[in-house]
Structure 1
């Protein structure tokens, strides 16, 4: 029968009838022996016939003194195929032996013994089932650590899938406004190595929303007089165009810094803390003021087109180890020093001293000995201007610190700062990864930033500095 379902004719019909006609007798068992040795001998003979040895077949000694049993040929009747026996894996002292990518076999755990794979858990909404102790935890599998790090830390797996699902809705008239799921960058200037990444959060990936975080890394100038800027912004939650507001905030602070980068680099090298604070405060207010003006042009309320803004300035001069942070809005500024994370985020309008993550409150003075301004409950006198100017929702944050060799400085948005403060396992994991090792590559840093924690599904943006 042909592929179109028609019967063959002529000589083909004779062959078809001989094979499948009702009058054809069953061939039954073949007269030839069918042992394993006979199969091997038959295969060897076939190979010798098709690919004769250079010395000829007569040089091959017979397998045995007994002449082989003649096999009756059946030109028109094919041999009945015999299904091979199912293959059984060899069994070692601790269970079945599996073969990995290494040079030898890797023994797997015996049935009932504790191993790297536990009972399967039901798949979370929008996710896939995974083992209780599978690759999503800090445990290593079969003694082979995953160089990319674990998928999550904490008590259990997060609700959402670890990989992107739905793409954001695209506007055909504004394709330039599309935001990539992940942005990754890095550099090395002077004695510092920079790694930066911005990743869309799990909830935004699941809903198909664009990433609200924006990241800008830029170098202004050349040589030792160059100045490196890292800016990150987060658009307001649940507002249309939040990703555009974040991108514009980064772009405007970048333009403001590039116009003043020579003066800023000189102030950093000369440690003019007061000039730096007032000048960066003015640049930040100007940039965010343009964002409020843009909201008015779009017919939106200022809170509907707003963004938090956090920046780092570092000179390329290897002799200068001053690192300047400034910005407005939520996030985190942490330092890994001698195996311990320190939360050096400025509280309020003044810079505060160091505090270990998750322990206690900031000290009443800075390491330089400056006393902090405290709220004494004094009523603010009425303003002579009517109406009184609105008090800003978020204070300006500023900190200038001197780095030491071996330090790791981490600036991040609220999407990473909150789990770093709330889940000790995440801080411990990053400590093991970053404490006594060379700066990670771009892919390894991205994997570290993406370590997930249940209950935290916002966008994550982070920039880390490794001091040589």
Structure 2
């Protein structure tokens, strides 16, 4: 475009120069004085008249040439204006081209930066993918190892998976903290047709972080209830509570005291001919409020204004009252506050038969604040059933498709030794990491059937 414009300007300049030269020539000719012949000759000679006429014609032609030159000059001015306009447009376009070139350079630099960043991200993605593949390979190897050990244990039909020196079920350090307690605890009894085992073990997360166990379990005869009755309880302390273990232990012991205190009324409501549910619910609320009052003694004076600090002693409590003696259908009363669960093993499958809270809001309740919101339910078991009062991590473990059948195969129809039961609760399988606490009851219906069961 620049070359074409340059040639156009040159042609216009040459045209202007030619027009100026022609105009100057015509102007000079017009100004040149014409020779005047002698007056006598002009006056008398016809030849002189012809010359005058010829001169007049030349003068007219000169005027026309001058007018033409003036038109050419005007056209030249217009052409020069057009050329100036084209030149201005050319300069503007050149400036725009410069801006576009600068923008293109900036975009190219930005593109180069983005390409560099993209290469860095691709490299990070490759590294993460490699790490993920390595992690998956390790996980698969661990799964295969667990499957192999499970197959070996099932073939030997003895004990759980392990123990081995590297088993996560064996603590690597003692628990720390002012509220510390034993890493694990176990209890149990063979009560004729009812066999009961209780165990509580510190979870994987607590062992890894050096924290103490926060759960507690309890087995007691409710002697004050007229009919022979067993009280089983599991208290799960809050992971963030400073005194959650002491509060869990206090909750279990206080529950036993409160059941004894209201034992006669509970016996009438449970086993009397009327079976008054309203009275039963009122007694349970009163008992749990007594438990809450006892728990608050653990942190008395630590809260604002010298009151108890409820956040330091939050506990989910699940209890079970079981009628003892021979019977084809055994009566139970499950009750509690929080997110514990009562599971039943029947025909080789686990199912949840009671949770203290029906909604998510109810399951988030804890003692002592939620004592008035106690949930309860009556239920019966048949000979061969197994009931498990569980803390939330243990309930989740029993209901898992990959682990629940393993526990079902070992606990269905058996009376495990206390050490075997603790080992099985403490089996080294990956879980949510919370404490594992459970009370299991085997219902054999008749004491003679229980004695013939294989340990």
Which of 160, 182, 185 aligns to 1:183? It is: 185
Per the TM alignment, residue 213 of structure 1 is displaced from its structure 2 partner at its CA by 0.2
Q: What is the TM-score when the length of structure 2 is the normalising length? A: 0.57
Equivalent residue number for residue 380 of structure 2: 402
Deviations 1:239-279 (A, max 9, x none): 21221111111121111112223432343223725032321
Per the TM alignment, residue 205 of structure 1 is displaced from its structure 2 partner at its CA by 1.5
The 3 A distance-change label for structure 1 pair 329 and 131 is closer
Per the TM alignment, residue 417 of structure 1 is displaced from its structure 2 partner at its CA by 1.3
Deviations 1:334-393 (A, max 9, x none): 11122222211246469xxxxxxxxxxxxxxxxxxxxxxxxxxxxxxxxxxxxxxx9949
Equivalent residue number for residue 162 of structure 1: 169
The 3 A distance-change label for structure 1 pair 269 and 392 is closer
Which of 283, 304, 307 aligns to 2:312? It is: 304
The 1-side partners of 2:347 and 2:154 are apart by 28
Q: Secondary structure at the match of 1:297?
A: coil
Q: Please identify, of 425-434 and 143-152, the stretch whose mean Cα deviation from structure 2 is larger.
A: 143-152
Which of 392, 399, 408 aligns to 1:431? It is: 408
The 2-side partners of 1:260 and 1:220 are apart by 10
Q: Please identify, of 395-404 and 216-225, the stretch whose mean Cα deviation from structure 2 is larger.
A: 216-225
The 3 A distance-change label for structure 1 pair 407 and 273 is farther
Work out whether 1:467 is the aligned partner of 2:443.
Answer: yes
Per the TM alignment, residue 455 of structure 1 is displaced from its structure 2 partner at its CA by 4.0
Q: How does 1:143-292 map to 2 (within 5 A)?
A: 144-145=155-156, 147-150=158-161, 161-169=168-176, 178-221=180-223, 225-270=227-272, 272=275, 274=277, 275-292=279-296
The 1-side partners of 2:427 and 2:189 are apart by 22
The 3 A distance-change label for structure 1 pair 344 and 306 is same
Structure 2 unaligned regions, length at least 5 = 1-135, 360-367, 445-455
Note if contact 2:342-2:352 (Cα within 8 Å) is conserved in structure 1. Answer: yes
Structure exhibiting the larger radius of gyration computed from Cα positions = 2
Per the TM alignment, residue 235 of structure 1 is displaced from its structure 2 partner at its CA by 1.5
Deviations 1:73-131 (A, max 9, x none): xxxxxxxxxxxxxxxxxxxxxxxxxxxxxxxxxxxxxxxxxxxxxxxx9999xxxxx96
What do you get for the CA RMSD once the two structures are aligned?
3.6
Note if contact 1:224-1:316 (Cα within 8 Å) is conserved in structure 2. Answer: no
Per the TM alignment, residue 412 of structure 1 is displaced from its structure 2 partner at its CA by 0.5
Note if contact 2:237-2:315 (Cα within 8 Å) is conserved in structure 1. Answer: yes
Q: How does 1:36-47 map to 2 (within 5 A)?
A: none
Which of 382, 389, 393 aligns to 1:411? It is: 389
Deviations 1:421-463 (A, max 9, x none): 3x2111111222233x332222222232223442421101101
Q: What is the TM-score when the length of structure 1 is the normalising length? A: 0.55
The 1-side partners of 2:170 and 2:407 are apart by 21
Per the TM alignment, residue 414 of structure 1 is displaced from its structure 2 partner at its CA by 1.0
Note if contact 1:225-1:262 (Cα within 8 Å) is conserved in structure 2. Answer: no
Equivalent residue number for residue 64 of structure 2: none
Per the TM alignment, residue 286 of structure 1 is displaced from its structure 2 partner at its CA by 2.3
Structure 1 unaligned regions, length at least 5 = 1-120, 125-129, 153-158, 172-176, 351-389
The 2-side partners of 1:349 and 1:143 are apart by 37
The 2-side partners of 1:233 and 1:142 are apart by 31
The 1-side partners of 2:426 and 2:289 are apart by 32
Deviations 1:264-323 (A, max 9, x none): 234322372503232112201221243246445222632222211111111233347111
The 1-side partners of 2:190 and 2:258 are apart by 23
The 2-side partners of 1:393 and 1:222 are apart by 22
The 2-side partners of 1:399 and 1:259 are apart by 21
Higher helix proportion, which one? 2
The 2-side partners of 1:392 and 1:142 are apart by 43
Note if contact 2:184-2:200 (Cα within 8 Å) is conserved in structure 1. Answer: yes
Equivalent residue number for residue 104 of structure 1: none
The 3 A distance-change label for structure 1 pair 194 and 131 is same
Equivalent residue number for residue 322 of structure 1: 331
Per the TM alignment, residue 233 of structure 1 is displaced from its structure 2 partner at its CA by 1.0
The 3 A distance-change label for structure 1 pair 433 and 160 is closer
Q: Secondary structure at the match of 2:256?
A: helix
Q: How does 1:86-97 map to 2 (within 5 A)?
A: none
The 3 A distance-change label for structure 1 pair 137 and 215 is farther
The 3 A distance-change label for structure 1 pair 348 and 204 is closer
